[in-house]
Structure formats: C-alpha cells, structure tokens
C-alpha cells in the first residue's frame, strides 16, 4: 500500500480500479530541418492544429447544453487554436529558425506557459492548464499518436492523470468515473471546480501520482482529507468503505439545512450567498441554499480571446444569472484585469509589481472604453432582478468618486437612449486594501454596501506574497491586525447604515464562522458547497454570546493564541463538527 497527500478538491470517497489517462506533455528534442523541408514542417503543424480543432469541435458538439461551463471552455480551447500567439508564432519560429515543427511548437508553448505561471491570481494562473492541455493534444496529433479518450471508459474507474482537460471532464459526465487524482491543480483549477459541480470525489496537486500508479491496481481517493491510496490493504479498504458510507450520510444530513433560513438561536439572521464564476454555477448555488450571489467574478468573459466582449455578451450573461435569483441579490463585481491578470487582446507593459500595479478599478479608469460596456450591461441587467454592482480594489474616496462619475456618465447615455435600468440599484465596493479599511468610515458614506475581500486584505496588510513559499506561513487570517480591521470595517458600515459582507475564502471556512458571526458581519459569501455546513453551525449559535467571545479574541496578542482560543470554543460548542 502506498499513500500520497494532495489538495482536497471535492468531498467524498471513491474506491475502484485505477485508470491512467496520459496527459503529460511529450518531450521534444531541439532539431532543425533543411530549408527545403520548412514548408513541409509548417504544413504538418497546421494539419495537427486542424485535427485538434476537429476533435474538440466533435466533443463540444456532444455537450447538450450550449450555455454550460464545459461548452464555454471548449470554445475557449478552440479559440486558443486560432490564437496568433500560439499558431502564427509557431509558424514564424519554424520558418525563421528552420526548427522541426514539434520543437518550434514546444518552444512557443513553454514561453506562453511561463507567462501564465507568473500570474499571481490563482484562478487566472490555473487557466494556463487550458493552454497545456491544448498543447498536449496538438503534439500527440503531430506525432500521429491517438489521444486517450475518457469516452472509451466502459467500467467504473478512478482516473489517475497529470491533469484533466475540459474535453476530458465533458466526457466524464457520460462515463462511469468514480473519482480522480491529478498531479497538478489547485482548489481553483478548472478540474477541481468541475469535480465539485459534478459531486465526484477528487484530489488534485498530488505530486507524483502518475509516477506512483501501477497498471490496473485499486485506487482510493479521499476528497475530504486529500489522500490517495494505491493498492490498499484489506484493512484500509474496510476503513475507507466505512468513511464512504459516513460521508454519504453526512451529505444527506447537510442537505436538510440547504432549505432552512440562516437564523441563530437568539433570532439574528445572516445571509449566506454564493461566489460564482460561470452562469451555470447558479443552479448549484440555489440547490445548496444560497440566498443570492455575493461575488460574481466577470473576468472569464475576457480570457483567451482575440476580441473584447461586447455589451450584449456582458448583458446576456448577467441577465441569465439575475433571472435565476430573481428575488435575491446578485452582486456583479466589475472585472479585475490588468497588471498580472492576463488577457490576450490587451497589450500591457510589464510591471515590476503587477499585483499592486495597473489592475482592477485602476485599469478600468484608464481604459474607460473597455469599462463602459460592462457598466451599461450591468445597469440593463438590473431590470431583471436584484442586481448589485461592486468595484474591486478601491483605495479611497477620491478614486471612488471618479468611478461614480463614470457610472453617472453611462446612466446618462442609457437615459438618452431610453433604455431602462434600476435607478435604486445598490453600488458597493470590495474592501481589500488596508487604506480602504482605515478610511472605511469615509467610504461608507458614499456607497450602498461593503464586501470584505479577505484574500487580498490579509496579503496586503501583512505584506506577504502568498505564492512565495518562504513567507506563505505568515498568511494568517486570525492575525490580531486582520480581526481588528474586520471589526473596524463592520462598525464603519453599520454606523453609516449599510450592510457588510465578506466574500473572501475566510467566509467559507466553517472554523471561522462563529468568530465572523461575533464580529457582526451581515452576509457571508462562499463556494456553494460550503453553504449547508456553515449554515448548520450558525443555526446552532447564539449571536450575542458569539459577539462577547469575538470581543475576547481581540484581546489576544498573536494569531496562535487566537487560533487556540477559537478552536477550544468551537470544539466545545459543536462537538459533532470536524474542524
């Protein structure tokens, strides 16, 4: 028996015969061809691209719902195959250097992958895997080898792979796949998101999984603990079979809470909302008991395409989600692009520190002609439900007023065109920069709501680079400075009479739920799967006791002290929960 650890991506336990899906990029050797062979190399490369395009088109056409995430990402893959950075650059590299087609393509591909690797935002960085998957398919076709297909799987299996492409996951929908483990990936990777949406147990980022796997052996995937077991003993098999039953029972128990309101034992109501990135996630959010959408990321509309999204594309996408939640709020965050946030159609100068550079609202204010179509679309969509508009990375009142003047300009355009919009639509900001937290009292007078983005607020407040392994241990949500900032933001919001939400990762961690209740947050927005469990904890809580306890937490001096105090409290109060 061999055991490897990875990142728990989707809950549950899968036990079955393993199936190795080869998705490793084939190696290329630097080689050149004679000048008279250059045209032939170019033609061979273009045939491989066309063959790949046909294969993806065939898979995409088999996806019944043309608005689904799978269909959308497969369309992105098709667009990548037409991208000048990938195709034209490869042809140019072959012609200028007389390189063999596979080496030239690999060289261009690796340069692009390196660009993605430097992106700090984990969601956007993971989109580099889409590019890698396209590269794998083209190289296999160039070599004349068949590309393994999930569609060919006939018996229940646990997949072990370097990574899964959207084409693979689209086929999983129709295949008897019990679960999967991949070498790479994170909780924000497409593979992980898909696993959660399908309810398939999965562990990603299992370094060496494909090397460890041996043909036809039994594999266990524990998506809760992030454990993968190869060739388990009889004792381990029995243990994990019991865990599988227990997980299924817990899921049934939690499902009951999805339909209940989030009201504490002493009558305080909190709103639990969902963070989403694609329109089809709205259905999952509704089934999980979301009261609405607290964070709708809109960057995906800009990714991996040659042109900018039109106002109609923005509008139709937002309308679709808004109509799903017709009686509940849908908080649309204007796009957070620029800096290290890669888009293929916008030329940006390199920056020394892109995370703090020209991105988010700063980028929008510089590129108003890209920003305004989105503003018009959000305003138009407001007629179809309870839309809220939210701006990322606001640093102060001056910047906020500049953004609001652009909004007013767009409102004027709509009025002149006699296009209706909700004149009372709430407009708020993400509080994720320490400066905004410090002047929260001033900002609160000018907006309709706050939403605390803990991921960036923690990073910037503690001056740490989350992707730097040498300092990542300093990323402490329970740092006294962070808890004090959260309380300050909540108090400033409430003094001004506006609600305060939290939409960072902290909001969806059940361990923090009791403390966040005590700090006075009105709404918590999280991944949909976390909602039933957070709801169960909050329904067992007493709000005024949580408030007193949160006050005592603020007296501690270190994150470790706070962690110990909170752990003891929640384990005493909720002995049936696992933290």
Catalytic residue among 70, 129, 190, 479: 190
DSSP state of 176: -
Q: How far is CA 219 from the centre of its chain?
A: 27
Indicate the SS3 state at residue 36: helix
Tell me the CA distances in angstroms from 16 to 4, 12, 177, 209, 218, one per residue in order.
16, 13, 9, 16, 5
Identify the sign of the CA torsion 305, 310, 314, 320: negative
- 187 is written with which tokens? 């909780």
What per-residue string of b and e applies to 495-508 under the rule 16 or more CB within 10 Å gives b? ebebbbbbbbbbbb
Catalytic residue among 71, 77, 162, 503: 503
For 337-369, what is the HEC assignment?
CECCECCCCCCCCCCCCHHHCCEHHHHHHHCHH
- Cα–Cα distance measured from residue 424 to residue 373, given in angstroms and rounded to the nearest whole number: 20
Tell me the CA distances in angstroms from 432 to 92, 274, 398, 502, one per residue in order.
43, 18, 16, 10
**Considering only CA atoms, which of 474, 486, 473, 544 is closest in space to residue 512?**
486
Torsion of CA 210, 213, 216, 221, to 10 degrees: -90
Instruction: Name the residue with tokens 């994170």.
Output: 186
* Alpha helices (runs of H) in 259-305, residue ranges in sequence order: 281-287
Backbone torsion region of residue 82, taken as left when φ is above 0, otherwise alpha when ψ lies between -120 and 50, otherwise beta: alpha
Residue 526's DSSP bridge partners are 274
Helix/strand/coil percent split, the chain, to 5: 50, 15, 35
CB 31 within 8 A of CB 229: no
Q: Edge-to-edge strand order for the sheet containing 157-161?
A: 2-5, 227-230, 218-222, 13-21, 157-161, 177-182, 202-204, 7-10
- Cα–Cα distance measured from residue 364 to residue 275, given in angstroms and rounded to the nearest whole number: 22
Is residue 364 flagged as an active site residue? no
Q: Which residues contact 281 (CB under 8 A, 6 or more apart)?
A: 69, 197, 274, 528
CB 486 within 8 A of CB 506: no
Angle, alpha carbons 543-548-550 (nearest 5°): 90
Is residue 190 flagged as an active site residue? yes
- Please identify every residue annotated as catalytic: 190, 503
């Amino acid at each position: 028996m061999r055991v490897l650890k990875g990142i728990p991506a989707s809950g549950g336990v899968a036990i079955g015969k393993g199936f190795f899906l080869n998705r490793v990029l084939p190696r290329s050797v630097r080689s050149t061809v004679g000048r008279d062979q250059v045209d032939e190399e170019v033609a061979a490369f273009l045939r491989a691209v066309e063959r790949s395009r046909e294969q993806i088109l065939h898979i995409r056409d088999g996806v019944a719902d043309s608005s689904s995430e799978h269909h959308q990402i497969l369309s992105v893959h098709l667009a990548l195959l037409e991208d000048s950075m990938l195709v034209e650059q490869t042809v140019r590299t072959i012609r200028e250097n007389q390189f063999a087609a596979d080496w030239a393509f690999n060289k261009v591909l690796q340069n692009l992958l390196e660009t993605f690797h430097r992106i700090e935002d984990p969601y956007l960085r993971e989109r580099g895997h889409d590019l890698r998957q396209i590269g794998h398919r083209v190289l296999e076709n160039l070599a004349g080898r068949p590309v393994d297909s999930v569609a060919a799987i006939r018996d229940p299996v646990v997949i072990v792979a370097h990574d899964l492409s959207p084409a693979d996951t689209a086929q999983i929908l129709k295949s008897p796949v019990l679960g999967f483990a991949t070498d790479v990936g994170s909780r924000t990777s497409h593979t992980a998101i898909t696993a959660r949406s399908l309810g398939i147990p999965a562990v990603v980022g299992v370094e060496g999984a494909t090397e460890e796997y041996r043909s036809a052996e039994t594999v266990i995937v524990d998506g809760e603990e992030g454990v993968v077991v190869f060739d388990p003993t009889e004792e381990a098999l029995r243990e994990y079979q019991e865990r599988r039953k227990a997980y299924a029972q817990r899921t049934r128990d939690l499902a009951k809470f999805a339909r209940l309101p989030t009201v504490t034992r002493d009558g305080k109501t909190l709103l639990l909302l969902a963070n989403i990135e694609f329109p089809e996630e709205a259905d999952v959010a509704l089934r999980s008991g979301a009261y609405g959408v607290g964070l709708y990321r809109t960057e995906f509309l800009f990714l991996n395409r040659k042109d900018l999204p039109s106002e109609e594309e923005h509008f139709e996408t937002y309308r679709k989600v808004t109509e799903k939640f017709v009686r509940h709020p849908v908080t649309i965050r204007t796009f957070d692009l620029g800096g290290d946030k890669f888009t293929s159609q916008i030329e940006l100068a390199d920056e020394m520190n892109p995370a703090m550079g020209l991105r988010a609202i700063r980028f929008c204010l510089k590129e108003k002609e890209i920003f305004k179509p989105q503003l018009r679309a959000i305003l138009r969509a407001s007629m179809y439900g309870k839309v809220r508009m939210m701006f990322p990375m606001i640093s102060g009142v001056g910047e906020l007023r500049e953004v609001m003047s652009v909004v007013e300009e767009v409102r004027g355009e709509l009025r002149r065109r006699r296009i209706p919009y909700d004149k009372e639509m709430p407009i708020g900001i993400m509080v994720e920069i320490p400066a905004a937290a410090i002047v929260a009292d001033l900002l609160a007078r000018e907006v309709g709501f706050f939403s605390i983005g803990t991921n960036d607020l923690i990073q910037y407040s503690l001056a740490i680079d989350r992707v730097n392994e040498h300092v990542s241990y300093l990323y402490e949500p329970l740092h006294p400075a962070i808890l004090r900032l959260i309380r300050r933001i909540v108090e400033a919001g409430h003094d001004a009479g506006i609600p305060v939400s939290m939409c960072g990762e902290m909001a969806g961690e059940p361990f923090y739920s009791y403390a966040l209740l005590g700090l006075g947050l009105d709404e918590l927005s999280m991944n949909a799967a976390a909602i039933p469990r957070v709801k169960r904890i909050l329904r067992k809580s007493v709000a005024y006791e949580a408030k007193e306890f949160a006050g005592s937490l603020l007296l501690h001096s270190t994150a470790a002290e706070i962690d110990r105090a909170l752990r003891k409290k929640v384990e005493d109060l909720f002995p049936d929960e696992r933290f």
